[in-house]
Amino acid sequence: DWNMPDYIAEAVEAIRAQVGKEEVILGLSGGVDSSVAAALIHRAIGDQLTCVFVDHGLLRLNEGKMVMDMFAKNLGVKVIQVDASEQFMGKLAGVTDPEAKRKIIGAEFVEVFQREAGRLTNARWLAQGTIYPDVIESAGKGKKGAHTIKSHHNVGGLPETLNLKLLEPLRELFKDEVRELGVALGLPHDMVYRHPFPGPGLGVRILGEVKREYADLLRRADAIFIEELRNTAIPLPAELAEGREVGYFHKNWYDATSQAFAVFLPVKSVGVMGDGRTYEYVVALRAVQTQDFMTAHWAHLPHDLLGRVSNRIINEVRGINRVVYDISGKPPATIEWE
């Protein structure tokens, strides 16, 4: 049981005491943890914080704009946006193996971040959005491989090479506490309650070789899917609604799923459009419900919702003429396709 205003005041004091007049850099990913860390640290030390936002070209539609609007425009945080998509695409050309792609994306991410951070010669601290479950995982008590999966997310090894001290103001918080804190610090509710998004981004949602053309198609298909999930309300059965607080149940299919996204299949199939024959790519939709992401069920989305998403993707995204729905559980399938 915690009192949010008191908690923020204490956390702000602690950050001020820790860093004094020194400067701090933080890698913003667009994810919840780094965003909340940035908002909290900015509340404490204002312009002593500089954020670096690396766009690897594998982010969701309008992600860059969303991050810049939220931090630079609305909160007045100093953010350096780095468009590194050219560099990432170059390194990924011809690479099809999922783990090889992950390694490349992770290594490039560290390199780009390091280069940018190296320019901020006054920085003495590296801030990270490490939360309590990450601390536990890193201590080796988590699932096997969990640390390596997340390693580039929390840019491990950077403090040493950059000779920076580590600032981790969320180290003692659980995810739901981080979210509450984010809302209290003025971050938009929809942002703070987003589904998790993997560090390698669309890089592991484009099967096989990553190409900019594929990423552009996938981004648009994915955005349509997410928009429809958010806009589709789930009617509450009368017998359940009675006596419950309003909002006790999930209000829409986005909130009712743990993770949902589109996957690009670099396979062409035949279709018809108007008088013509098409021969275009396939997109798979994935939506799962899970407590811990170790096991997951595929979400039983309503058929009319799936139909609407499929129609919209095929009509609005030229280059995709077929949409399929993934009905595999984890295990034996994983949540991501790579």
129 touching ligand XMP, by CB under 6 A: no
**Paired residues of 27 in beta bridges:** 52
* Residue 33 counted as an annotated binding residue: yes
Residue 264 CB, shortest distance to ligand XMP, in Å, is 15
- Using the minimum distance from each CB to ligand XMP, give the nearer residue, 74 or 334: 334
Distance CA 17, CA 87 (A): 39
- Residue list 198-227, contact with ligand XMP (CB under 6 A): 198-200
Strands 276-289 and 259-273: antiparallel
Stretch that binds ligand XMP, among 77-85, 147-155, 171-179, 306-314 (CB under 6 A): 147-155
Q: Would you list the DSSP string of 127-162?
A: E----HHHHHIIIIIS-TTHHHHHTTTTTTTHHHHH
Residues 56-115 that bind ligand XMP (CB under 6 A): 102
Report angle CA 258, 303, 268 to the nearest 5 degrees: 85
Which of residues 175 and 330 has its CB atom nearest to ligand XMP in the complex?
Answer: 330
Nearer to ligand XMP, 98 or 266 (CB): 98
158 vs 335 by CB, closer to ligand XMP: 335
**Is position 31 annotated in a ligand binding site?**
yes
Helix (H) or strand (E) holding 17: helix 4-19
Q: Which two tokens stand for residue 12?
A: 């702000």
Q: Please provide the DSSP assignment of 42-105 as one string.
A: HHHHGGGEEEEEEE-S-SPTTHHHHHIIIIIIII--EEEEEE-HHHHHHHHTT---HHHHHHHH
**Token reading at 218:** 């996938």
Q: Is 35 annotated for ligand binding?
A: yes
Distance between CA 105 and CA 224 in Å, rounded? 26
* Contacting residue, 150, 179, 194, 205, with ligand XMP by CB under 6 A: 150
| 57 marked as binding residue | no
The stretch among 52-60, 114-122, 145-153, 264-272 that binds ligand XMP (CB under 6 A) is 145-153
Shortest distance (Å) from residue 150 CB to ligand XMP: 5
Residue list for the binding site: 29-35
Interface residues toward ligand XMP, by CB under 6 A: 102, 149-150, 153, 196, 198-200, 259, 293, 330, 334-336
